[in-house]
Amino acid sequence: MGQMHFHVSDAAAEFFHQCRWNDAYLCGIEGVPWQTRNIFHPDNSQASGPVSSPSELPEGFAKSGNAGGRLTLTRSVATSAKLLITCPVEGIGYRVLTTCSLRCLDAPHRLIVELARGCCYRVRTQADTWQRGGLSLNEHFEELLAEGTRHFLDALQPKSASVNPHSGASLVSASLDAEKESAKSAIRAITILEKASSELGELFSSQSLAFRRSREPRLSTMMAVGVSPEACCAANGSSSGRPISPAGPIPSGGTAPGGNKPGSTATLANAVAGFGEPTSVIDNGIVPAFNAAAVRISWGDIEDASGTPDFTEVSKILDECASLGMRVIGGPVIDHREGLLPDWLTLMDNDFEKLLSSMTQFVEATVNQFRGQVHLWNAASGLNLSGPLRLDDEQVMRFSIGVLQTIRRCDPTTPVIMSIEQPCGEYLARHADGISPIHFADALLRSGLGLAGIGLNFRFGYDHGETHPRSALEFAQLIDRWGTLNAPLLVQLSIPAAPGNDPAARLQTSPVSLSPSINNQAELWARQQHEFAKPLIETLLAKQIVHAVVWDGASDRAPHVMPHAGVIDSNGNPRPMLPYLTKLREELLM
Question: Measured at the alpha carbon of residue 487, what is the angle toward residues 481 and 490, in degrees to the nearest 5?
Answer: 85
Q: Residue 415: what pLDDT?
A: 95
Separation between Cα atoms, residue 34 and residue 26, nearest integer Å? 6
CA angle 216, 221, 226 (to 5 degrees): 160
pLDDT at residue 267 tops 80: no
Mean local confidence (pLDDT), 207-233: 85
Q: Average pLDDT, whole number, for the chain? A: 84
Share of the chain above pLDDT 90, in %: 52
Residues 6+ apart with CB under 8 A from 108: 5, 6, 7, 70
Report the sign of the C-alpha dihedral through residues 476, 561, 427, 457, in that order: negative
**Hey, how many other C-beta atoms are within 10 angstroms of the C-beta on 446?**
10
When pLDDT is cut at 50, 70 and 90, the band that residue 264 belongs to is very low
Torsion of CA 203, 204, 206, 211, to 10 degrees: 130
Of 298, 278, 282, 301, the closest CA to residue 290 belongs to 282
Band (pLDDT 50/70/90 cuts) for residue 31 is confident
Confidence of residue 390 (pLDDT cuts 50, 70, 90): confident
The 10s digit of each residue's pLDDT in 354-365 is 999 999 999 999
Mean pLDDT lowest among 245-259, 321-335, 413-427: 245-259
pLDDT level of residue 316 (50, 70, 90 thresholds)? confident
pLDDT at site 174 = 61
CA 59, 62, 64, 66 torsion: positive or negative?
positive
| Domains within the chain, CATH numbers bracketed | 2-214 (no CATH), 222-588 (3.20.20.80)
What are the DSSP E strand ranges found in 105-221? 109-110
Nearest to 441 by CA among 461, 455, 427, 460: 455
> What pLDDT score does 304 carry?
81
Q: What's phi and psi for 453, nearest 5 deg? A: 175, -175
Reported as a single tens digit per residue, the pLDDT across 163-188 is: 555 545 565 566 777 888 999 999 99
What pLDDT is attached to residue 48? 65
pLDDT digits (tens, 9 = 90+) for 120-143: 999 999 999 999 999 999 999 999
